[in-house]
Amino acid sequence: MSRSLFPDEPTAAKDAGPAAPLAERMRPRRLDEVVGQAHLIGEGKILRKMIEADELRSIILWGPPGTGKTTLARVIANETHSPFVSYSAVLSGIKEIKGVMAEAETRFRRSGTRTILFVDEIHRFNKAQQDAFLPYVESGVIVLIGATTENPSFELISALLSRAKVYVLEPLAAAEIEQVVRRALADAERGLGRTPVVVPEEVLRRLVVHSSGDARIALNALEVAVSLAWGRRTEGAAAILELADLEAALQRKMLLYDKAGEEHYNLISALHKSLRNSDPHASLYWLGRMLEAGEDPIYIGRRMVRFASEDVGLADPRALRVALDAVDAVRLIGLPECKLALAEAAVYLAVAPKSNALYMAYDRVVEDVESTVDEPPPLHIRNAPTRLMKDLGYGRGYQYAHDLEGKVADMDCLPDSLRGRRYYEPTDEGMERRIREVLAEIERRKRG
C-alpha cells in the first residue's frame, strides 16, 4: 500500500530501486513511454486527452494482467496536478480508504481541489464496501481510478458503474511485447543495457509468444533467463541467451485463464460456437486451451452433452451417446488420458449434422406452459382405474393404437385450448429428414 499524506504538491510515483524486479524498474513514467492501448491513449484518444488536460473523470480500467492498468495509474500520478492516493484492495481495508476520502472531502471544501484515488484490484471489495465510494464520486470530491482483472459487470455494483466510465485494456500484441523487451535490453539506466547479452531472434520470438500479451511475464522471464546466461558466459564476453535459458525461466507457458472468471465463459463460448459452426479445428483448439489451462474435464463434458441435445438433436441421435461416453471416459480414466476422449467427442459433434429443432420445440412448449391455463389432459387419454372415474368419462373414446391399421389413432392428445398446436418441426438435416417423412406419413394415416 502506498498513499500520499496530502502534501502541498501532488505525490508522483517513485522510480523503483535497482533491487526491484526488471518489470517494476521498466514501468513507464510518462504517457509517451506506455506501449500498447493505442485505442485509449493514442494521439487524440479520449483517455489521453483527459490525462493531458488534467481533467480526469472516475474510470475503471479492466484488462488481463500485464496490460498496463497500474502503469496508467502511475502515469496519471506523475502527470496530474491533483493529489494522488494509491491503494491495493488486497492489502488495504475499506476503513482505511474511508479515512482518506474523509480527508479528501475536507481538502475539497477548503480549496476545491479533487483527490485522485487509485484502487488496484477493486473487485476484491464486496458490493456493500463499494457503496462507500458512491457519495464521494457523486460529489466530485474524489476521482476514482479502479483497476480490475474481473468483468466489472459481474464484480462492481451498478451504481458505481453508472458513475465511472469503464475502459477495456487489451493484451499487448506480439510487436508491442517485442518493443517492451528490446527497450529493456537497451536501457542502461533501468534495464539490462549495462549487461552485455545477445538475444537471438528465435529466442526473442519464443519469449514473445510465451508471454501471451503480458508485459510483466515477458520482462520477468527475460531477467531470469539473462541471469542464467550471464552465469555461463566466458570472462569478458557477452552472454548469449539460449532457448534452454528461456525454457528454464518460463517453465511452461502460463495460459490466461480463470476457472471462475470471465475467461472461463469466453473460452467455453468459443468452443460451443466452433462446434455449432462445424469447425473441428477451432473446436479442438479451444478444447485444448481449456484443458491445458486446468479446466475441469467434467465441466467440458457436461457442456458437450448439452450441445449434443441443443445443436445436433435428432439430426444425429448418436451424438448424445458420444458425448455421454466421453463423460464416462473422463470419470473412468481421468487426466491426462481422458483428453483424447473429449477430443474425439468434439470432432464428432463438430462434423455432425446440426439441428436446433428440438431446442426450439421445447422453448415453444415452455412458452405455452407459462402463458396458458393449466388445463387437465383430455378425458379420453386419462386413466380410469375406478368405476367412478369411468362414469365421469375418463378414458371414454380412447383408441388403442396397436389395434388400429397403421398404428395411429385420429385423436388429439393436447388440452382443448392447444388443439392442433405443433411444437417440433424437424429440419432436412441428417436423421431429421427421415423423421420429417415419418411425421408426414403419420398425418396422412390420421386423415385416413
What does the pLDDT look like over 281-335, one tens digit per residue?
Answer: 999 999 999 998 888 899 999 999 999 999 999 999 999 999 999 999 999 998 8
Q: Which amino acid is at 403?
A: D
Q: CA torsion, points 205, 211, 215, 220, in degrees to nearest 10?
A: -100
Region 211-221 average pLDDT: 90
Specify the CATH number of the domain 22-168. 3.40.50.300
Please state the domain extents for the chain.
Answer: 22-168, 174-250, 262-351, 375-447
Of residues 69 and 212, more confidence is placed in 69
In degrees and rounded to multiples of 5, residue 322 shows phi and psi of -65, -45
Q: Are 213 and 171 in contact (CB under 8 A)?
A: yes
Two domains, one topology: 174-250 and 262-351: no
Q: Are 76 and 117 in contact (CB under 8 A)?
A: no
Q: Is the full-model pTM beyond 0.85?
A: no
Largest CA-CA distance found in the chain, in angstroms, rounded: 109
Question: Helix or strand or coil: residue 115?
Answer: strand
59 bridge partner residues: 145, 165
Q: Are 307 and 275 in contact (CB under 8 A)?
A: yes
Architecture of domain 375-447: Orthogonal Bundle (1.10)
For residues 218 and 67, give the distance between their C-alpha atoms in angstroms, rounded to a whole number.
11
Region 161-175 average pLDDT: 92
Region 261-272 average pLDDT: 83
Fold of 262-351: Zinc Finger, Delta Prime; domain 3 (1.20.272)
Write the CA distances from 176 to 36, 170, 179, 181, 193, integer angstroms: 6, 11, 5, 9, 19
Residue 9's pLDDT is: 37
Question: Helix or strand or coil: residue 93?
Answer: coil
Q: Are 184 and 225 in contact (CB under 8 A)?
A: no
CATH class of residue range 174-250: mainly alpha
Instruction: State which H helix or E strand residue 88 sits in.
Output: strand 84-88
pLDDT at residue 1 tops 60: no
